[in-house]
Structure 1
């Protein structure tokens, strides 16, 4: 397979969408090996694709990276595009001519050597406005320390614990006021200094806690701080990935924090993605700055249609339940059941007894009636009882063949 091209499937582009391509022909290497590398960058923005190729260990990655750089340069210089707004629309490798050589072997034989060549093509295009907005929001939200918010790193937590221990040691030593020099030494902010003063006043009015109590309180506060920080980190409509690797119920959309992409069920990369966060709807994932891969646009639209249909069905079911609750359903069922009984018949009692004056059993499944003394009378569980055989036959029931034969004999 050569890989999806511009006239295949989801990569069918509009006539007015500008595209720029670059092709490297007669490269030494098989097309099969080149396609493995091309599958890694298809659908990525050019900056991310260049990073992926830079750290890919396959030999074909070097040639693919050169072709990608050529395609970006063509778009910038020939089509006046912005390099930061481009993404890899299509990337495929076609087979080139094969050089055939021979290697001499024993007994005058020779082994064929095939030296493959390939043609690599990379096509870039401008990102849509929606994807550009998501990409810009993601770049603006990035911090120098990574994607973690300030104050949530392990080092900052260790600093807070160290400051708390320093204050506790000062209180145990009898220091009710924190000197300015100590504050500068631990780099405490004005808010922390105010907390120290309030803590010292509280210690003067109450009993000074012991070392074990203080350490336990510090550990509990640190744990609660980490829990609150983790709750703030994941956005609305999402849950963190369980430690056992399972998918939470109701949150089936996977979110990859490294690539900032979300993957829906039945998507191309859903099974291979290790999620850090799960979302319940596509709207919540996009609101958090995640975007769908280019190959999953059809799957995303299908999932949105299914969710909309499920919501409409739920609303309709709730309306039906409410309408049923407003009516007297049991009485209606009882009246319907009585109206369906034929003439000369009564429904079977719940205790399994035989009604007085209605001794002929009727089986609704087989539409047979059984008279007392018949072959199957005792083993028949009746749904209806008749008073006479004429009423049973008028209701569409008939006697079993064995009872007719016995009667004739």
Structure 2
């Protein structure tokens, strides 16, 4: 048996195990890095696969989707494309900087081959009239049919309009009858309203609500508490609330009323 003790052998075994673990971890990391590099290369590879044959036998890679934020996939792609408007923008375009690209092209030829056009040339708007064209044909056919139907019914409408006219003419006198009856009742109501209630003094009349005169003929206000009457010329006429009314001063004096002392 060798000169190593059991303790030393255990230490060497532990060191060998640690070394093996570290070497295995390093190998796994190298494999992982190589796999990531291969995946990155395959992700960038599909762009050239979309080759489009152009005039003159030149091939184009076609549109390439923009990266995050609309950035170009590589420095070779300088033409921005917008799928909504079908416009492409070159670096010299006025709206180049503010346009967020959805796809990128290497040249104008590639953009035109993919159906994109420069700004202001119509873009996607050119396709709209083609969709609306079929809608015009069916619209004309039904338009003529109703026109004939209306023409054939025209005499019937004319006859229908004349008939109500005669009916209204015959009923017109009947509607005026209630108006005459109302006119006859009007004087009766007016007479009822002008009825004057006699006051408690001879020749006097009771006031209306608020002390108002019972009729225009009564112009002399009487105060029953003070037994004073006021004519329209009296300085207290406007502020006096009449408790009784007289037609004339003579009627007020006969009932025992007197003029104000300062009048």
TM-score range (shorter-chain normalised) is under 0.3
Q: TM-score, normalised by structure 2?
A: 0.25
Structure with greater proportional strand content = 1
Larger Rg: 2
Structure with greater proportional helix content = 2
